Chain A
Amino acid sequence: MTPEALELLFTGAFHGLGALFAVAFGIVLLLLAEILPGAAKLRPAIFVATLVVAFLGELHLLDEPAGIVLGGSYIADASTAAWGMVFLCATAIAWVFGRGYYTVEKPFQGEHDVLMLCSLLGMLLMAGSGDLLSFFIGLELLSVPLYALCGFRRARNDSVESGLKYFLLGAFGSALFLYGAALVYADTGTISLLELGNADTSDSLSLIGYALITSALLFKAGVFPFHFWIPDVYQGAPTPVTTFMATGTKAAAFAFLLKMAFMLPAGAVASLSWIALITIALGNLGALVSRDLKRMLALSGVAHAGILLLAVVSCLKTGNVALAEEAAIYYMAAYVFSAGGAFGLIALLESKTGEPTTLDSIKGLGARRPGMAAAMAVFMLSLAGIPATGGFLGKYFVFSTLVVQADMAGAAIIAILLSVIALGYYLRVIIAMWMEPADEVATLPAEPKRLGGAAAAVCVAMVFLLGVLPDLFLGLLP
């Protein structure tokens, strides 16, 4: 294909679909590499190249005007591109930390990578979908590979349990969405988001439909009262997959929630903000009593989802999608690098023994593996929202939209006081690593491989960059 033809392809009918095509093409190449003799060692290169090309595609899209393609089912604009970059970073982090994680399952690494890319494709489609149908395809494309990935360590009971649990509940969530979409369609006669925005949706049929759709999204994001699956599934799933789910899936759910927030009735402001506050409280309290690090971070992720929901609330209340979206993307980007880095480090810690990482097993890590422990401390401080880390500015922007634009200072104060609870468990991780002596019997965690160490260093650097030089990233969005 000539460059001119390519140019035409991507500015015309397929404007803004570059990343989607790149990922889909990558999946095909990976599958081919699977069956062609001698091509197996190309797999990592293919994976990385796919992500890089997709990332460049999104970067290119940032400066382009918004485009509605595929008959209105896909809307490509700068915010889609920004979300896409978040998903790509999440995938890259999960994948890099997954290298060397699997032992028994090593021969199936190829399938693992393909499934991950399929899920990524689903995320990209979700974030850009222009109607309920393409969103549903994205949702399924995201979920189905994840069911398999959760149960990827099939020799282990907890992994299988995790996969099965996620499958059963996830299928339920998908059904909720479909039913909701059907009701909305029955009432309004359209599934296009743009048309739904103008349609009269005050009818109870639509309201029930939207409630079901929102519930399905809250389920994927892990928000109260649909958060109960999170700790079990996250804990049982292979840690790289947990990394992927915690950062990517959550981001995808919120990307679409923000997109459809303007369709929700104004009455949802109060209920959603209460849901957000309860989510923050339950997530933090749950994390406070768990000693398993994966479980703790899973529940802390629930609390973070609650804060992101507050961004959705302010978007709903003010109708200013762009601002809330900017804050949410920033928050999510900081979360991807801090939580992704933290889960990744857990994956590195587990890779030698296969034992779960608990507050006891990381005692004295500061003396034995100072680099890892320092990186983990940075991630914890960022998740807690201490300045100079990305977590702080994300928190600042979300609360700024909430207080200033949405005029909800009360909710902001309750939320931020609830998030002080979170400090209790983030600091406990630091206490265990740096202030308590190591157990004599504990095995020394493996020295991180060069790749894992570099990935952790990149995450730390990104956390600081997001925290100190926000203009680098804010400038990307129009």
Chain B
Amino acid sequence: MSLLSLLIFLPLVGALAIAFTPSKAASLQRGIAFLTTVVVGILSLTVWGTDDLASLAVNSAWFTLPGSQIDVGYRLGVDGISLLMVVLTGILMPIVILSTPGHIKERVKEFMIWVLFMQMGMMGVFLATDLVLFYFFWEIGLVPLYFMVGIWGGKRRLYATLKFFLYTFAGSVVMLIAAIALIYEAQSTDIVAITNAMSTLGVSDTIWLFSAFTLAFAIKVPVLPFHTWLPDAHTEAPTSGSVILAGVLLKMGTYGLLRFSIAMFPAAAVAASPYMMGLGAIGIVYGAFLAMAQTDIKRLVACSSVSHLGYVVLGLFALTHVGLAGGLIQMVNHGLSTGLLFLLVGMIYERRHTRQLDQYGGIASVMPIYAIFWTIAVLSSVGLPGLNGFVGEYLILLGSYQAMPFWAVIGVTGVIFGAIYLLMATRKMLYGPVVHEANRKLTDLNPREIGLMIPVVVLIVWIGVKPDYFMGRTEASVAAIVERIDQAREGMKVAELAVPAPAAKGGESR
């Protein structure tokens, strides 16, 4: 079995193994799950270490679509865009499993099975280079999170989980119709072939396909105004669910935007760029305002997620080299820093059983180690130079300034608001006198909790100090997309010169 297939199906094997354990053997189940995710993590690092990524590709027949000669294949592959996501998934999942003993105490068996299913779905989405296969994993990924929130979530879990599922499912089915049309149009289900066939077409030919795909991904990211499911899902999800959601699952949306909306339909993306950048920039500011108004710390982090993903959308749809590269690295950064914040929120909730900000204060004096980690996470999230967040935000703002200064300026204000709400929350939680007696007895982090966060912190600093090491691997793929975009721009210019009538239209949409 090839390396990429192992990345997808080892979790499935692990899940099956857990299914055959006695239901009371919680530590055995945790052990199997941890072992599986560690092996997958190591394998994902092997992928990182492979120089010739194309050599890893898998291509075998699956089935033929009825009434056509189109072969749906079992096609896997990895390139600069998916590489970071695969490694991020590989690294985060063992951490997620390690974080579970604190908050998953019941029905451990089912939980571990769902986590591993989730990993299969996520790896599948990032590795599939066949459209039907991609859609398979895309929708399979909904089911585990639905169960994770619905069974182990908070008080309003049933509402949150149904809302999450309905929102994302509605987006996916529209994508399904677009995918059917796209497969027929390109006479292939191979994503590379489809991209080659579609990326030369003009705006009017692709705008509907672009819109349908973008809608599905925008709901998943989520881009304003489709964001309302996210704070609910995040707040009600168990800590590990939130980490997966913030760390990887939302990246499926931004990954899709880059892989499909932009790379496949560059002309339509150029036409839609101002609007998408606008949605991204407004999302940054709106998310920040939402976060400021929250009194629940977990909801605050969830809203900050909306804000931070606004950066990614802003950067990607700037459609400049710098913006795309920044958006890509910011996807990783958001996964690390927001994932870390959710872990930390979960750890304090396990001790104090409240998430209300006013119930805290002076935690730094009681839990100094916790305070250190929290501060690192916040500073990374705020974008302090030297940490990862800075690299991403800087590149995104630079890239979007090149494209549309107006939205870049709006986006910059988000940096300030972000600093305000995150630092305010930090002050309320960590500093000042200890007001509540219950807080005096809190115990600091135990070695397990420290240990599971160390890799994340290392990556946060590493990306901050040596971003080239990470971005170098993505360079070739980003350059290829930029080339397509430039060609599309050229094509639109030619069309403007040749035919006066559509010229006015093209000019407008710029």
Residues of A within 8 A of B (CB): 320, 322-323, 326-327, 330, 381, 386-388, 392, 396-397, 399-401, 403-405, 409, 412-413, 416-417, 419-420, 423-424, 427-428, 431, 434-436, 469-471, 474
* Interchain nearest-CB distance for A457 vs B (Å): 14
Query: Could you tell me if B136 and A396 are in contact, using CB atoms closer than 8 angstroms?
Result: no
CA distance A470 to B133 in the complex (A): 13
* Residues in B neighbouring A399, C-beta threshold 8 A: 176-177, 180
CA distance A417 to B150 in the complex (A): 24
* Residues in A neighbouring B142, C-beta threshold 8 A: 386
CA distance A401 to B181 in the complex (A): 10
Question: B438 an interface residue at 8 Å Cβ cutoff?
Answer: no
Asked if A396 meets B170 with Cβ closer than 8 Å, knowing A381-B143, A431-B158, A431-B162, the reply is no
Q: Mark B68-94, 1 if CB is under 8 A from A, else 0.
A: 100000000000000000000000000
Query: Could you tell me if B64 and A471 are in contact, using CB atoms closer than 8 angstroms?
Result: yes
* Chain B residue with Cβ nearest A471: B63
* Residues in B neighbouring A419, C-beta threshold 8 A: 173
The 7 closest A-B pairs by CB, nearest first: A323-B67, A387-B136, A471-B63, A404-B184, A435-B150, A416-B173, A470-B63
Which of A399, A401, A427, A436 has its CB near the most chain B CB atoms (within 10 A)?
Answer: A427
Interface of B is mostly: helix
Query: Could you tell me if A403 and B181 are in contact, using CB atoms closer than 8 angstroms?
Result: yes
Query: Could you tell me if B176 and A431 are in contact, using CB atoms closer than 8 angstroms?
Result: no
List residues of B (114-136) whose CB comes within 8 Å of A's CBs.
132, 135-136
Asked if A417 meets B170 with Cβ closer than 8 Å, knowing A381-B143, A435-B157, the reply is yes
CA distance A428 to B140 in the complex (A): 18
* Residues in A neighbouring B162, C-beta threshold 8 A: 424, 427-428, 431
CA distance A416 to B174 in the complex (A): 7
Question: B169 an interface residue at 8 Å Cβ cutoff?
Answer: yes
* Residues in A neighbouring B146, C-beta threshold 8 A: 427
* Chain A residue with Cβ nearest B142: A386
Asked if A404 meets B158 with Cβ closer than 8 Å, knowing A416-B173, A423-B165, A471-B62, the reply is no
Question: B139 an interface residue at 8 Å Cβ cutoff?
Answer: yes
CA distance A397 to B158 in the complex (A): 32
A-B contact pairs, 10 of them (CB 8 A): A326-B67, A392-B136, A396-B176, A399-B177, A420-B173, A427-B146, A434-B151, A435-B150, A471-B62, A471-B63
Question: B147 an interface residue at 8 Å Cβ cutoff?
Answer: yes
* Residues in B neighbouring A412, C-beta threshold 8 A: 177, 180
Question: B65 an interface residue at 8 Å Cβ cutoff?
Answer: yes
* Interchain nearest-CB distance for B416 vs A (Å): 40
Question: B166 an interface residue at 8 Å Cβ cutoff?
Answer: yes
CA distance A388 to B65 in the complex (A): 16
* Residues in B neighbouring A322, C-beta threshold 8 A: 67
CA distance A400 to B184 in the complex (A): 9
* Chain B residue with Cβ nearest A477: B66
CA distance A146 to B213 in the complex (A): 47
Partner of A420, one of B63, B67, B170, B177: B170
CA distance A83 to B64 in the complex (A): 21
Partner of A474, one of B66, B173, B176: B66
CA distance A419 to B62 in the complex (A): 27
CA distance A450 to B383 in the complex (A): 61
* Chain A residue with Cβ nearest B174: A413
Beyond the given A388-B140, A416-B174, A436-B158, please list 7 additional residue pairs across the A-B interface where CB-CB is below 8 A. A387-B138, A404-B184, A416-B177, A419-B173, A423-B166, A431-B161, A471-B62
* Residues in A neighbouring B140, C-beta threshold 8 A: 386-388
* Residues in A neighbouring B151, C-beta threshold 8 A: 434-435
* Chain B residue with Cβ nearest A387: B136
* Chain B residue with Cβ nearest A436: B158
CA distance A396 to B131 in the complex (A): 13
* Residues in A neighbouring B181, C-beta threshold 8 A: 403-404, 409
CA distance A388 to B132 in the complex (A): 11
* Interchain nearest-CB distance for A31 vs B (Å): 42
* Interchain nearest-CB distance for A415 vs B (Å): 9
Query: Could you tell me if A386 and B62 are in contact, using CB atoms closer than 8 angstroms?
Result: no
* Chain A residue with Cβ nearest B151: A435
CA distance A431 to B158 in the complex (A): 8
CA distance A399 to B169 in the complex (A): 16
Which of B135, B138, B151, B169 has its CB near the most chain A CB atoms (within 10 A)?
Answer: B169
* Residues in A neighbouring B62, C-beta threshold 8 A: 471
* Chain A residue with Cβ nearest B150: A435
* Interchain nearest-CB distance for A308 vs B (Å): 16
Asked if A397 meets B66 with Cβ closer than 8 Å, knowing A403-B184, A409-B177, A416-B176, the reply is yes
* Residues in A neighbouring B174, C-beta threshold 8 A: 413, 416-417
* Chain B residue with Cβ nearest A472: B63
* Residues in A neighbouring B65, C-beta threshold 8 A: 397, 400
Asked if A323 meets B66 with Cβ closer than 8 Å, knowing A387-B135, A400-B180, A403-B180, the reply is yes
CA distance A148 to B170 in the complex (A): 42
* Chain A residue with Cβ nearest B173: A416
Which of A323, A412, A417, A435 has its CB near the most chain B CB atoms (within 10 A)?
Answer: A435
CA distance A428 to B64 in the complex (A): 35
Q: Mark B5-43, 1 if CB is under 8 A from A, else 0.
A: 000000000000000000000000000000000000000
* Residues in B neighbouring A330, C-beta threshold 8 A: 66
* Interchain nearest-CB distance for B160 vs A (Å): 11
* Chain A residue with Cβ nearest B139: A387
* Residues in B neighbouring A434, C-beta threshold 8 A: 147, 150-151
Partner of B150, one of A396, A405, A431: A431
* Interchain nearest-CB distance for B133 vs A (Å): 9
* Interchain nearest-CB distance for A259 vs B (Å): 18
* Interchain nearest-CB distance for A100 vs B (Å): 28
Query: Could you tell me if B184 and A474 are in contact, using CB atoms closer than 8 angstroms?
Result: no
Q: Mark B433-474, 1 if CB is under 8 A from A, else 0.
A: 000000000000000000000000000000000000000000
* Residues in A neighbouring B63, C-beta threshold 8 A: 469-471, 474
CA distance A381 to B146 in the complex (A): 12
CA distance A471 to B166 in the complex (A): 31
* Interchain nearest-CB distance for A63 vs B (Å): 18
Query: Could you tell me if A405 and B165 are in contact, using CB atoms closer than 8 angstroms?
Result: no
Query: Could you tell me if A403 and B150 are in contact, using CB atoms closer than 8 angstroms?
Result: no
* Interchain nearest-CB distance for A315 vs B (Å): 12
* Interchain nearest-CB distance for B21 vs A (Å): 13
* Residues in A neighbouring B184, C-beta threshold 8 A: 400, 403-404
* Residues in B neighbouring A471, C-beta threshold 8 A: 62-64
Which of B147, B170, B174, B180 has its CB near the most chain A CB atoms (within 10 A)?
Answer: B180
Query: Could you tell me if B173 and A417 are in contact, using CB atoms closer than 8 angstroms?
Result: yes
* Residues in B neighbouring A420, C-beta threshold 8 A: 166, 169-170, 173
Query: Could you tell me if A327 and B158 are in contact, using CB atoms closer than 8 angstroms?
Result: no
